Chains A and B, each alone.
Chain A
Amino acid sequence: MSAEVALSRLERAWQVLDGVLDPEVPVVSVRDLGIVRDVVEDDGGGLEVVVTPTYSGCPATEVIEQSIVDALVADGLGPVRVRMQRAPAWTTDWMSDSGRAKLRAYGISPPQHLGAGDAVPMRFVPRRRVEALACPRCESVDTERIAAFGATACKALWRCRACGEPFEQFKAI
Chain B
Amino acid sequence: MTATTASASIRVSTDPTVQYLLRIGDTCLVMAQRLGEWSGRAPTLEEDIALSNTGLDLLGQARGVLTRAGQIEAERGGNAYDEDQLAFLRDERDYLNLTLVELPRGDFAVTVLRNFLMATFLKHLWHRLERSSDAELAGVAAKAVKEARYHQEHAADWVVRLGDGTGESTARVKTALDHLWPYTAEIFEADAVDDAAVASGLGPRWADLRDEWRADVDGVLAAAGLTPPKERLFRSTGKSGRHSEHLGYVLAEMQHLQRTFPGGTW
Contacts and interface: CB of A to CB of B under 8 A. Distances in A.
Interface residues of A, number: 31
A147 B143 contact: no
Nearest to A59: B56
Contact of A149 (B53, B144, B160): B53
Contact of A147 (B49, B127, B140): B49
Interface stretch (B59-67, B196-204, B251-259): B59-67
A128 B142 contact: no
Contacts, number: 100
A116 interface: no
B214 to A, nearest CB: 12
Interface in A122-173: 123-128, 146-151, 153, 157, 171, 173
Contact of B61 (A57, A123, A126, A171): A57
A114 to B, nearest CB: 10
Contact of B56 (A91, A127, A153): A153
Interface centre among A53, A58, A127, A148 (most CB of B within 10 A): A148
B135 A87 contact: yes
Given A87-B138, A126-B223, A147-B49, A57 B145 contact: no
B34 interface: no
Interface of A: 53, 55-59, 85-91, 120-121, 123-128, 146-151, 153, 157, 171, 173
11 contacts: A55-B56, A56-B57, A56-B63, A89-B143, A124-B156, A124-B220, A126-B160, A126-B219, A127-B160, A149-B53, A149-B154
Which 7 pairs between the two chains have the least Cβ-Cβ distance?
A56-B60, A57-B60, A86-B139, A87-B139, A57-B56, A147-B46, A89-B142
